[in-house]
Amino acid sequence: MRWAISGLRLVGAVTAGAVTALVGLLFVLVAAPFAGRPAVRSAAARLTGLELRRLRLDLPDRDEEGVLRYLAARVPVGLLGGLIVLLLMVGIGTAARLAWSWGRGEAVDGMLPTPALLAYAFLAGCVLLFLDVSGLVGVDELDRRLAVRLLAPDPTEALRRRIAELTESRAGVVAAVDTERRRIERDLHDGVQQRLVALSMLAGRARRGRPELLEQLHEQARQALVELREVAWRVYPSGLDAHGLTEALSGVAERAAVAVEVTCELPERPPAAVETAAYFVASEAVTNAAKHSRATLVTIEVRQEGTMIIVRVRDDGVGGADATGGGLTGLARRVAALDGRFTMTSPPGGPTVIEAELPCV
């Protein structure tokens, strides 16, 4: 059953390719004299995008300058695919006509079904079907290779870009680590340390005959423990290793100063680095929403699509978030270090949506 569905999908793709080849030919003939105009380039890019979706190819860094050349080059391939589909339809129609007539005992072109004739027709049909299927597979593969050849970036240039991305991401990771260390030091100095100093002073005064200060002493000690626990969770959530991402995000929702809804649908636990990055993306986004967006509800959605873990955080705040802020920049660098993609949309008036795509292979 699966091979039949794959075969029908292949026939449909090649047939669609023949139609788009005719459209591309007409477009090239009309638009060639105006190839330098932005509107023509934009239309060519949209047609090329349709072709890539038909071929199920992902070329994010495709050469936009070569789209018109690609549309012209694939015209013969598309027309060849259309011819093969036409021959396949003719063959199927002929086989159906023979089966219908011979099944009723009628002669076709003066020929009645004999064992020798039936064997000959069967063998000839199998050979022609094999040739048609081979042609369809070949056209589809040729179409894919042509798209990669004309639209994919030059291998040397792609390697140069990759080296630049790795260099930038490495520098970003170092900067993010330094920023996180400074924030932890600031939290310890301005929060926990000051709380412990006050705790020490209260203990000294209580020893000098002020027992009524014991309640304040207890409260200060409790607050110091809470703040120390918060700092520890920002360094690394201990529950992440023990209980997984779902429980860790539930902890984020419980400690948040705003209502948080968590939906985590993962078939299995992702790698530790990916799980950690997903946690910090969600945690930092919730913290930013509580501090700056005046949001009343934050939703966290974690799901797996193919080989990617998608983390999406949305709040109903006022929007206008600055993507160059320290926290969001650190998140983008953390995601880039794993070869992931980080995006944020925050129009004035909201909502703010932060999304990270993390490869889990």
Strands 259-265 and 297-305: parallel
**Contacts by 266-269, CB closer than 8 A, 24 or more apart:** 266/302, 266/303, 266/304, 266/309, 267/304, 269/244, 269/245
- Structure tokens, 202: 């209260």
Give exposure, 39-78, as e/b (b: 16+ Cβ within 10 Å). ebbebbeebbeebbebbeeeeeebeeebbbebbbbbbebb
Domain assignment of residue 349, yes or no: yes
Structure confidence at residue 302 (pLDDT): 93
pLDDT tier for residue 298 given thresholds of 50, 70 and 90: very high
Q: What radius of gyration, in Å, describes the C-alpha atoms of the chain?
A: 32
Residue at a domain's end among 194, 213, 235? 235
pLDDT tens digits for 170-191? 656 655 665 665 666 666 666 6
Same domain, 22 and 75: yes
Q: Show the domain range for 211.
A: 170-235
Q: In CATH, what number is assigned to the domain containing residue 325?
A: 3.30.565.10
| Same domain (yes/no): 294, 207 | no
Q: What is the pTM of this model?
A: 0.48
Please state which of the ranges 121-125, 235-239, 265-269, 307-311 shows the lowest mean pLDDT. 235-239
- Number of domains the chain contains: 3
Task: Examine residue 159 and state whether it is found in any structural domain, yes or no.
Answer: no
Residue 4, pLDDT > 70, answer: yes
User: Residue 226 domain-assigned?
Assistant: yes
pLDDT, greater one: 18 or 178: 18
Q: Which of 99, 124, 151 is the last residue of a domain?
A: 151
Distance set, CA 25 to CA 28, 59, 109, 129, 144 (Å): 5, 22, 40, 29, 18
Please determine, for residue 219, whether its predicted confidence score (pLDDT) is greater than 80. Answer: no
Residue 257 in any domain: the answer is yes
Asked if 25 and 120 sit in the same domain, the reply is yes
Residue 259, domain member (yes or no): yes
Residues 73 and 126 reside in one and the same domain:
yes
